[in-house]
Structures are given as C-alpha cells and as structure tokens.
C-alpha cells in the first residue's frame, strides 16, 4: 500500500490521494458510521483540511503531495494556525479566551471558569533538565515561583472585568476524586475553609432534573420563529427527499465526496 500511495503522490492531485486513502482504508466509513460526537468532529476537521488542499492547489505550481507538504511546512513555520485564528473583539458576542489571550482586553462581564485546585493554579511540573544557576542572568524571586506566576495570571483575569466578575468551580471535573476550590478564590474573597460549604445534591434532585417543564396537560409548546429565511437549492431538497442521512453528511458535516472525472 505504501508503494502504491508513494506512486500516486507524484502522479495524482493531493486531494485525490488523500480521498483514496481515507476511503480505501475504511477510516472515513468508520467515522461517519460512529455516533460519537468526537468522531463527527473529526469528519468536520477532515472536510476543513480538504478546503485547505483545494485553496493551496491554486497557489502552488504543481498540485502534488510532496509540493503540498513543503508548502504546509512553510505555513507552520510561519505560525499559521487556522484553529487559533484571531476573533473580532468588537462583535457583540461571547468570547471564550484563555487568560493569556485576554491580556490587554476588557469586557463588561467576565466569567472565570474551572477555578479548582490543580487547574488554577495548575500543577507544577519540573523541567527534565534544570538550567544551571551560573547560566541564569536574571535574579529569580524567592519562594514558590510557579505559584506566584499563577497568582499574577489570576489577577490579570480578574481585572479584565469592567462591571461584573464571576468565579465558577466544580467538585466533579471528570476525574475520580472531587476537586477543591481554587485557593485564589479564597484569597480574593478573603474566605476561610469553614466559609466554603460544598452543595450536596441528592439522588432525587438528579432524577428530577430530567422531568419535563411544568405546564397544562396537552398544551403544545410554542415554536420559536426562525430568525432568517431558510433558502434551499433544488439539489439540497432532492438530497433530503432521497435520504435525510445523505443530506446530513453532504451539507451539514460536509463529508468529502470524490467527483467523477466527467463532472
């Protein structure tokens, strides 16, 4: 197989080679037949990668795998990262940012999430090869340098808020052990351990959360009017009438489909 793809990589277009690999190997079929949201996300990322290949084919002289990889390496070295593209902060929307990305910005309302121990402050991991003291020109602060740096970062996050600031934490963050509230919250609000009492939820409360909303028996829920007109082409309508699952794969998830050479 490697010899076959090596031969194709210098004879056929980059998109064709990749498409043949993900279909012949069964990888694409496994993803689209999986109910897992993570697998659906992988399909979307593959579709995005095909978009990059398609746009790159108009730039490079020869659309072949070796030339595409060389061009992709140049983009990576230049720091190009589509997944980390900058967003327009002037848009009236919720901005999800790391504290580092939020430096220099201000917002009317700031919500600092996941403020639990070993997350914020994060767990300190020592470097594998420590730097000799003789090579360090700067004077390092005494004490726990990592904790001090995390505390400064926490202060940066707090001061991004103009009007309202919210702290959130949770005992259950997906691990086996319950998490403790971040010590930085305790310091900022001047709280002691006795002041923080975890809210214990009973089993009945967990079950009741799944109950339908209260209302009159037989009363139909009001539908939310669409905010914009839904425009569909004849092809989309035909695809949906033929097979709703096909419509989902082609027009929503955008599973790449190899076109016939006569198209």
Domain ranges of the chain: 2-78, 99-125+143-210
Q: What is the mean pLDDT of the chain?
A: 77
Rounded CA separation 113/154 (Å):
11
For residue 246, is pLDDT > 90? no
Most confident of 165-169, 175-179, 242-246, 248-252: 165-169
Rounded CA separation 163/110 (Å):
8
- DSSP strand E in 54-172: where? 107-112, 161-167
Contact 150, 120 (CB under 8 A): yes
User: DSSP secondary-structure letter at 209?
Assistant: T
Average of pLDDT values for 193-221?
A: 69
Window from 51-65, 128-142, 168-182, 187-201 with minimum mean pLDDT: 128-142
Predicted local confidence at residue 256, as pLDDT:
66
Confidence of residue 82 (pLDDT cuts 50, 70, 90): low
Predicted local confidence at residue 166, as pLDDT:
94
Window from 98-102, 121-125, 201-205 with minimum mean pLDDT: 121-125
Predicted local confidence at residue 252, as pLDDT:
78
For residue 242, is pLDDT > 90? no
Average of pLDDT values for 38-55?
A: 83
Tokens coding 254:
């955008």
Q: Is 218 helix (H, G, I), strand (E, B) or coil?
A: coil
Task: For 222-240, write each residue's pLDDT tens digit.
Answer: 666 666 777 778 788 888 8
Task: Tell me the pTM.
Answer: 0.42
Contact 57, 15 (CB under 8 A): yes
- Smallest CA-to-CA distance from 157 within 199, 194, 123, 112 is with 112
Helix 65-77 × helix 37-56 angle, to 10°: 100
Angle 73-77-80 from CA coordinates, rounded to 5°: 90
CB neighbourhood size of 254 (10 A): 16
User: The domain 99-125+143-210: what is its CATH number?
Assistant: 3.40.50.300
Task: For 119-163, write each residue's pLDDT tens digit.
Answer: 887 766 565 566 666 666 666 556 667 788 888 889 999 999 999
CB neighbourhood size of 115 (10 A): 21
Average of pLDDT values for 151-179?
A: 85
Contacts of 89 (CB under 8 A, 6+ apart): 95, 105
For residue 177, is pLDDT > 50? yes
Predicted local confidence at residue 85, as pLDDT:
38
Predicted local confidence at residue 87, as pLDDT:
47
Rounded CA separation 137/77 (Å):
29
CB neighbourhood size of 162 (10 A): 11
Average of pLDDT values for 206-233?
A: 68
Rounded CA separation 178/162 (Å):
32
For residue 17, is pLDDT > 80? yes
- DSSP strand E in the chain: where? 107-112, 161-167
- CATH superfamily for domain 2-78: PCRA; domain 4 (1.10.486.10)
Q: How far apart are the first and last CA of the chain?
A: 28
């Amino acid at each position: 197989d490697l010899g076959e793809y090596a031969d194709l990589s210098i004879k056929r277009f980059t998109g064709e080679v990749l498409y043949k690999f993900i279909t012949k190997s069964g990888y694409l079929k496994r993803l689209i037949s999986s109910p897992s949201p993570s697998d659906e996300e992988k399909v979307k990322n593959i579709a995005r990668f095909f978009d990059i290949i398609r746009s790159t084919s108009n730039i490079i002289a020869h659309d072949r795998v070796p030339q595409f990889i060389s061009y992709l390496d140049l983009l990576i070295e230049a720091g190009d990262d589509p997944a980390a593209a900058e967003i327009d902060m002037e848009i009236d929307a919720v901005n999800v940012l790391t504290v580092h990305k939020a430096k220099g910005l201000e917002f009317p309302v700031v919500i600092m999430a996941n403020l639990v121990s070993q997350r914020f402050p994060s767990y300190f991991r020592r470097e594998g090869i420590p730097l000799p003291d003789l090579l360090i020109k700067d004077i390092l602060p005494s004490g726990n340098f990592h904790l001090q740096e995390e505390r400064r970062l926490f202060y940066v996050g707090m001061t991004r808020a103009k009007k309202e600031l919210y702290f959130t934490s949770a005992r259950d963050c997906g691990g086996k052990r319950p998490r403790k509230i971040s010590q930085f919250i305790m310091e900022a609000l001047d709280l002691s351990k006795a002041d923080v009492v975890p809210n214990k939820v009973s089993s009945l409360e967990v079950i009741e959360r799944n109950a339908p909303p209260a209302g009159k028996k037989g009363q139909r829920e009001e539908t939310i009017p669409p905010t914009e007109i839904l425009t569909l082409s004849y092809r989309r309508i035909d695809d949906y009438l033929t097979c709703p699952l096909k419509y989902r794969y082609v027009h929503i998830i955008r599973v790449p489909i190899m076109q016939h050479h006569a198209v």
